[in-house]
A = this chain, B = another copy of it.
Amino acid sequence: MRAYTGDGDVNEETTAAIARIREEVCVLHAELVRYGLVAWTAGNVSGRVPGTDLFVIKPSGISYDDLTPESIVVCDADGVLVDGDLSPSSDTDAHAYVYRHMPDVGGVVHTHSTYATAWAARGESIPCVLTAMGDEFGGEIPVGPFALIGDDSIGRGIVKTLSGHNSPAVLMQNHGVFTIGKDARAAVKAAVMCEDVARTVHIARQLGEPIPIPQDDVARLYDRYQNVYGQR
């Protein structure tokens, strides 16, 4: 394995943090498989290494069955490989752009999950008609621009769409979903919930119009869920 050769201090603490986040990100990919969000090798999770400009991400084109913590690669803030034997995900530039421009983001997930991508193919945002959407997304799930892979276009589209928005998920037109979170686990949760509500609202709309939830009720749901749900 190539040694880390970045400019930052790579002390023992960072080495340990990298090992921990590689393990976590490796395990979280199994959640994408479990919830049926990915086919073959299409989809990836990344996680920021706390206290550094580094992040770890899935290697490109590797089967989920074959992922190990060691196979997860480490990149710097520009998405350049700094540790690992494999090439990073072809979506690494988009992840890197998000980490550079959204300092509170600690995890990013990308999938082509079926129902969310179907909304993205039509370029339609998902309206907030479920209390679970109010809880997790605080309103609609927005659509980002059509953008080709290969430069900063996708990253810019994600950051521009999500900045100032409650939703941790964006539907990139004709493409798929990107989600963000305070850490990789939160971003995976957002990806799971995004597909879940994308599917439920799609199915609801197949036979008529869902009833809207008043905006102030959405705000109450979001506020409560972000502050009360789960363990303290």
Verify if A221 is at the interface (C-beta below 8 Å from B). yes
Verify if A79 is at the interface (C-beta below 8 Å from B). no
Knowing A39-B192, A117-B200 are in contact, say whether A150-B224 is a contact too (CB < 8 A).
yes
Could you say which interface size class chain A belongs to? 35 or more
Let me know if B90 and A131 touch, CB within 8 A: no
Contacts of A60 in B (CB 8 A): 229-231
Kindly provide the distance from the CB of A226 to the nearest chain B CB, expressed in whole angstroms.
12
Let me know if A124 and B208 touch, CB within 8 A: yes
Contacts of A132 in B (CB 8 A): 42, 112, 175-176
Give complex CA distance A51, B206 in Å. Answer: 46
Kindly provide the distance from the CB of A101 to the nearest chain B CB, expressed in whole angstroms.
22
- Chain A positions 192-215 with a Cβ under 8 Å from a chain B Cβ: 192-193, 196, 199-211, 213
Kindly provide the distance from the CB of A176 to the nearest chain B CB, expressed in whole angstroms.
7
Verify if A109 is at the interface (C-beta below 8 Å from B). no
Contacts of A173 in B (CB 8 A): 211
Q: Which residue of B lies closest to A228 (CB)?
A: B90
Give complex CA distance A91, B114 in Å. Answer: 30
Give complex CA distance A206, B121 in Å. Answer: 11
Kindly provide the distance from the CB of A142 to the nearest chain B CB, expressed in whole angstroms.
16
Kindly provide the distance from the CB of A143 to the nearest chain B CB, expressed in whole angstroms.
10
Verify if A2 is at the interface (C-beta below 8 Å from B). no
- Chain A positions 95-118 with a Cβ under 8 Å from a chain B Cβ: 112, 114-115, 117-118
Let me know if B40 and A129 touch, CB within 8 A: no
